[in-house]
């Protein structure tokens, strides 16, 4: 049931992205898409409560609230186009809608279609095992597991960096900029993220197999060092992309300004 809600949300936002801006249906369709997307995220805390992951409970509820905020902006533009016109806030909303639609269209098939899920995991597993073999490590691998020194690591979807790849793909494609700059931004982000993720997975496997950090080697390598390294790498990549596409920084800043302004207005009224 909830997967159907997700696909409806993505389909509506994609449709909204291709409908010409002069047609009011663009905003209504996009607004309804954001509402369905909010329902999807509002359902996610059920899973996280079961595993006592309260950080993600709060995060997914915040995302659901943000989706409703975006829906409100689009539906308001549909009902009262004279208020915000075709510039300013609504341009930011349309860009964010396009970025979300593209990123979701890229990510969710891998997350929800078993054949694509297995293909991606197998691809990353083979690439990681190939890198380790090239570096001289004797590993055994299946389509989703790599064993080194008797220690086995299972590659799951989160180990493929597909979330970050989808995010940067959606953001880059949604920007209205010359093709050459878009391709430059794409090439210094998506392929680099994929390659660095293979190195990250290889590092975790070697650290775990050689027990670099004792009994807690996997936890330290994966949950601490690899996560910190990934965060630093994504920050550097994002900086490089925004240097090439300053329009992306304008979109992020515009979204922040719009959101904080609306929140202040709500606080004043209350």
Closest to 89 in 3D by CA, of 75, 69, 73, 65:
73
- Range scoring the smallest mean pLDDT among 124-128, 238-242, 260-264: 260-264
Catalytic: 159?
A: yes
Q: What is the mean pLDDT of residues 216-225?
A: 93
Confidence of residue 84 (pLDDT cuts 50, 70, 90): very low
d(CA 182, CA 61): 33
Domain, as residue range, for 32: 1-112
Instruction: For the chain, give the mean pLDDT.
Output: 89
Q: What is the pLDDT of residue 142?
A: 95
- Catalytic pick among 79, 159, 261, 262: 159
Q: What is the pLDDT of residue 214?
A: 93
Does residue 209 share a domain with residue 174?
yes
Q: Is residue 256 part of a domain?
A: no
Catalytic: 79?
A: no
Q: How many domains does the chain have?
A: 2
Helix pair angle (227-244, 246-269), 10° resolution: 100
Does residue 225 share a domain with residue 152?
yes
Q: What is the pLDDT of residue 68?
A: 93
Q: Is residue 264 part of a domain?
A: no
Q: Is the pLDDT of residue 244 over 80?
A: yes
Does residue 120 share a domain with residue 242?
yes
Q: What is the pLDDT of residue 270?
A: 65
Show the tokens assigned to 80: 């009262």
- Catalytic pick among 67, 200, 243, 261: 200
pLDDT tens digit sequence for 130-143: 999 999 999 999 99
């Amino acid at each position: 049931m909830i997967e159907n809600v997700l696909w409806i949300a993505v389909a509506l936002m994609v449709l909204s992205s291709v409908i010409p801006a002069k047609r009011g249906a663009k905003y209504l369709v996009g607004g309804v898409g954001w509402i369905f997307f909010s329902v999807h995220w509002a359902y996610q805390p059920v899973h996280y409560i079961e595993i006592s992951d309260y950080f993600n409970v709060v995060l997914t509820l915040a995302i659901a609230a943000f989706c409703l905020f975006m829906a409100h902006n689009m539906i308001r533009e549909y009902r009262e186009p004279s208020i915000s016109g075709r510039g300013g806030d609504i341009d930011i909303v349309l860009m964010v809608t396009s970025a979300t639609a593209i990123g979701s269209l890229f990510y969710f098939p891998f997350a929800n279609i078993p054949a694509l899920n297995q293909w991606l995991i197998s691809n990353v597993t083979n690439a990681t095992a190939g890198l380790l073999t090239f570096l001289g490590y004797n590993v055994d691998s299946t389509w989703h597991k790599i064993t080194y020194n008797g220690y086995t690591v299972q590659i799951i979807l989160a180990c493929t960096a597909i979330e970050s790849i989808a995010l940067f793909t959606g953001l880059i494609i949604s920007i209205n900029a010359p093709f050459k700059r878009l391709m430059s931004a794409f090439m210094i982000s998506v392929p680099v993220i994929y390659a660095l993720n293979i190195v990250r997975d290889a590092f975790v496997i070697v650290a775990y197999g050689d027990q670099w950090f004792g009994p807690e080697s996997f936890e330290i390598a994966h949950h601490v060092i690899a996560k910190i390294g990934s965060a630093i790498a994504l920050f550097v990549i994002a900086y490089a992309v925004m240097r090439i596409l300053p329009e992306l920084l304008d979109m992020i800043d515009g979204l922040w300004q719009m959101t904080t302004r609306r929140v202040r207005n709500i606080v004043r009224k209350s």
